[in-house]
Chain A
Amino acid sequence: EDKVVQSPLSLVVHEGDTVTLNCSYEVTNFRSLLWYKQEKKAPTFLFMLTSSGIEKKSGRLSSILDKKELFSILNITATQTGDSAIYLCAVRGSARQLTFGSGTQLTVLP
């Protein structure tokens, strides 16, 4: 059974801080790893990673995948209150479905 573990479960920081969110996984025949941001209800897509060691960047957010060690990190620099959300990590393996972790609840204080 595919498994995704995210840490920490929750994190409280102040505006301007840099945060690193972790995602480790066990999956049969890895296909891809995705990061989503969930505010209120619908998860919104951030990144999809398929290759090891290649960083994906979007503004203050970046993510990298290590397929050998079976983990990914999501970095957010210069955090803002609008970054407050649950960040979900999901992996797709041979089962073709996405398996999600429980998420990291990030709270950014002004």
Chain B
Amino acid sequence: EAGVAQSPRYKIIEKRQSVAFWCNPISGHATLYWYQQILGQGPKLLIQFQNNGVVDDSQLPKDRFSAERLKGVDSTLKIQPAKLEDSAVYLCASSPVGGRGGTDTQYFGPGTRLTVL
């Protein structure tokens, strides 16, 4: 079974530029998550999709971050404009259900390391 795919693996941009990350979840997984992991910290959830609908985006800085999952499969996360503090690893994860049961496992992709100069 193929895992969660993400691209690019690395990205270096200057502040105020825009950047986009792509994620393709495990086939058949209904739920997709984007996390931000700052060095030395655990991953922090940015947004959770169930199929093509947003379940939770309470921690997404909506003034500069946006995400979509139009067809309920792959997803993009965009930052516009980027700030220095956005430097982090952006992890995508997927799970089969992610619903109210709360017991399904999330599988992570390799992440994208973003450096904002």
Interface stretch (choices A56-64, A66-74, A77-85, A89-97): A89-97
Complex contact A31–B102 (CB within 8 A):
yes
Interface bin, chain A? 20 to 34
9 example contacts (A-B, Cβ-Cβ < 8 A) are as follows: A31-B102, A31-B103, A41-B111, A42-B110, A45-B106, A48-B105, A92-B103, A97-B56, A100-B42
**Which chain A residues have a beta carbon within 8 Å of chain B's beta carbons?**
4, 31-32, 34, 36, 41-45, 48, 50, 88, 90, 92-93, 95-103
Given A31-B102, A96-B56, A96-B100, the answer on whether A102 and B109 have CB atoms closer than 8 Å is no
Complex contact A97–B108 (CB within 8 A):
no
Interface bin, chain B? 20 to 34
Complex contact B98–A96 (CB within 8 A):
yes
Complex contact A45–B107 (CB within 8 A):
yes
